[in-house]
């Protein structure tokens, strides 16, 4: 699936900084022509910069990608923490969320269950 492959390419570039087309093909199990097409898409999105024989991650996207990767790690533990925190909430309370990787689980529950909830969300904070 293309979206999974694009995510794998992003992760590879985040971890290594830059990689050749051949290295990305081996890492993803895709053909080199497929990787070239994927790199073209990622370049058009502004995620990567293509260099001779490969690609490197654009500087501005590194911190965003790092957040995305952290957000997916230990997801069961983060959901358990969110469930425990949610149980402590009462209607009418004011709650502030810090921009840490695990907060999206709790923020999504609060936004979904409290009709009056007002959340100022970052682009990275999505309801699960």
Q: What is the percentage of the chain residues whose pLDDT exceeds 90? A: 23
Per-range mean pLDDT, top range of 55-64, 78-87, 97-106 = 78-87
| CATH level 3 topology of 2-64 | Arc Repressor Mutant, subunit A (1.10.10)
> Which pLDDT does position 109 carry in this prediction?
66
Segment 31-45 shows an average pLDDT of 92
| Residue ranges of domains in the chain | 2-64, 73-128
Q: Alpha helices, DSSP H only, in 1-128?
A: 2-16, 21-28, 32-44, 62-72, 75-88, 103-113
Q: How far is CA 31 from CA 34, 36, 38, 96, in A?
A: 5, 9, 11, 47
CA-wise closest residue to 106 among 123, 92, 89, 124 = 89
Q: Quote the CA–CA distance of 121 and 127 in Å, as a whole number.
A: 10
> Which pLDDT does position 11 carry in this prediction?
84
> Which pLDDT does position 127 carry in this prediction?
42
Segment 106-126 shows an average pLDDT of 55
């Amino acid at each position: 699936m293309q979206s999974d492959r694009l995510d794998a390419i992003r992760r590879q570039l985040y971890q290594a900084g830059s990689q050749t087309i051949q290295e990305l093909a081996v890492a993803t199990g895709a053909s080199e022509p497929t990787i070239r097409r994927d790199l073209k898409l990622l370049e058009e999105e502004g995620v990567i910069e293509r260099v001779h024989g490969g690609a490197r991650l654009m500087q501005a996207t590194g911190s965003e990608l790092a957040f995305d990767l952290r957000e997916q790690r230990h997801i069961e533990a983060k959901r358990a923490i969110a469930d425990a925190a949610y149980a402590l909430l009462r209607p009418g309370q004011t709650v502030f969320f810090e921009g840490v990787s695990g907060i999206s689980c709790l923020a999504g529950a609060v936004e979904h269950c409290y009709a009056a909830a007002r959340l100022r969300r970052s682009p990275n904070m999505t309801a699960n």
